[in-house]
Amino acid sequence: MTDTSGWASPGSSGTDSSGTGAEGVRPPAGAPSGPDGGSTTAPPPSDATPPVAPPYPGAYGRPPAAPTAPQPAQGRGPQPGWGGGPGWGAQPGWGAQQSWAVPPPSPKPGVIPLRPLGIGEILDGSIATVRKHWQTVLGLSLVVAILTQTTLTFVDWWSQHNSQDTTGLVVAGAGLLVDAVAGLVMSALLTVVVSRAILGEPVSAGAAWHSARPQLWRLVGLTLLMVLIVLGILVAGAVPLIVLAVLGDTGPAPMGIGFLILLGAGLVAFWTYFRLSLATPALMLEKQGIKAALARSRKLVRGSWWRIFGISLLGSLLTALLASVVAIPFRVVAAMAGGSLTSALGGSVDHPQPVSALVIIAVGGVIGSMITIPVQAAINVLLYVDQRIRREALDLELARAAGLPEYGGAGWAGQGGGAA
């Protein structure tokens, strides 16, 4: 996808991003659409325009047809006009007429239909992205999966053989830092891949890198700021417990109050994290700064926190289950290679895992991460797109960006089914 105004926030073009501007109003169903997607006034009908058939007999002042003379009723059989006779059940206005037919489905140039999405459509769209663009997606996630599993495997081996030496912890910390940076880069690239998959456009790793590169440093700053915000809330909640420990006041009542304050801070941090969870796709796709991306996430999540939390939690559970299913066969093979069940479940200082078992488990982890990491990233991007469709009629802009013709004379507002 070339850089287009379709992903820009409404506020950047002089309209209100809350959905009250020119781009944020979804045209009503059945409203005619002009060449630019806006509503137009239908021209008055000419003399040559054929009259439109009324939806049922007698409409628009037309006298209804004379009813058929009823036949003598026999017992409690079907009466005329109520099912078996020529009454309402036989009128063409309720069966043959197309005025009340189900509207056509929404346009779907890519992995999702361009309308408000249901839960199943978000999950299906994330999997469809991996399936249709597997060469690009799996290639990007493979690099991150190898780095992450290598670091974790080294940490496991070091903890089982050199638990008293801190050198391994320093190496592991450096490895985790590299993993975090690689994860941020992959998150940025996958955001671009999903955005193009929505429009049905092919995408390569090189094209995704070219599009995401200008925003990478901002993404690093955004991620660090989000981590500091969440940790700052937790640290503030832990201050009463730290003060009590320093003063030596460890009575049940003061400690209980301190734990309640810490629990409340944890809930606030949890709520804040999901409130800011759409900042990454907003930063990458709208090409905004860090502060603007955080503000966009708060605005898009407002009023839909539970929905976003529920879909994100469901996606995390499904991806964790998928990763476990992939890892089980490798752990079985690791147990056979190590000669004991502990080789598959994890070793200890007294019973360390052999290197062969660690390598086999790491291979299973790499394969599982290759599949689950892009699915989870796609779910987050699709949540962002769904919120913008619901609040800002982004489907209109995406349909135009995809090069689709006008759809049913009613603009691009989805006439299909609603969302969950």
How far apart are the C-alpha atoms of 275 and 297, rounded to whole Å?
7
Q: Residue 345's CB: how many other CB atoms inside 10 A?
A: 11
Q: Residue 318's CB: how many other CB atoms inside 10 A?
A: 17
Is 267 within the bounds of a domain?
Answer: yes
Q: What is the pLDDT of residue 84?
A: 43
Beta bridge pairs of residue 39: 33
How far apart are the C-alpha atoms of 287 and 279, rounded to whole Å?
11
Is 88 within the bounds of a domain?
Answer: no
What are the distances in angstroms from CA 45 to CA 48, 49, 234, 404? 8, 6, 67, 28
| Nearest-5° Cα angle at 328, 325 to 334 | 160
Is 93 within the bounds of a domain?
Answer: no
Is 394 within the bounds of a domain?
Answer: yes
Tell me the three state secondary structure of residue 144.
helix
**Based on the structure, what is the number of domains in the chain?**
1
Tell me the three state secondary structure of residue 312.
helix
Q: What is the pLDDT along the chain (420 residues), one digit of tens a residue?
A: 445 556 887 766 544 444 444 344 454 444 444 444 444 444 444 444 455 444 444 444 445 555 555 555 444 444 444 444 444 444 444 444 444 556 667 788 889 998 999 999 999 999 999 999 998 888 888 888 888 888 888 877 777 766 566 666 666 677 677 778 888 888 899 999 999 999 888 888 888 999 999 999 999 999 999 999 999 999 999 998 888 888 877 778 888 888 999 999 999 999 999 999 999 999 999 988 999 999 999 999 999 999 999 999 999 999 999 988 998 888 888 877 765 665 556 655 556 677 888 888 889 889 988 888 899 999 999 999 999 999 998 888 888 888 877 544 333 333 333 333
**Which 8-state DSSP code applies to residue 155?**
H
Q: What is the pLDDT of residue 278?
A: 95
Q: What is the pLDDT of residue 66?
A: 53
Is 357 in contact with 334 (CB distance < 8 Å)? yes
**DSSP for 67-115, written as a single string:** PPPPPPP-TT-PPTTTTSSSSGGG-GGGTT-STTSPPPPPP-SSSS-SS
Is 45 within the bounds of a domain?
Answer: no
Is 190 within the bounds of a domain?
Answer: yes
pTM: 0.72
Is 34 within the bounds of a domain?
Answer: no
Question: Which residue matches tokens 């891949």?
Answer: 193
Q: What is the pLDDT of residue 274?
A: 95
> 395 is in which domain, residue-wise?
119-401
Is 140 in contact with 189 (CB distance < 8 Å)? yes
Q: What is the pLDDT of residue 217?
A: 92
Structure tokens at 394: 């982004």
Q: Where are the strands (E) in 127-276, listed by range?
A: none
Is 39 within the bounds of a domain?
Answer: no
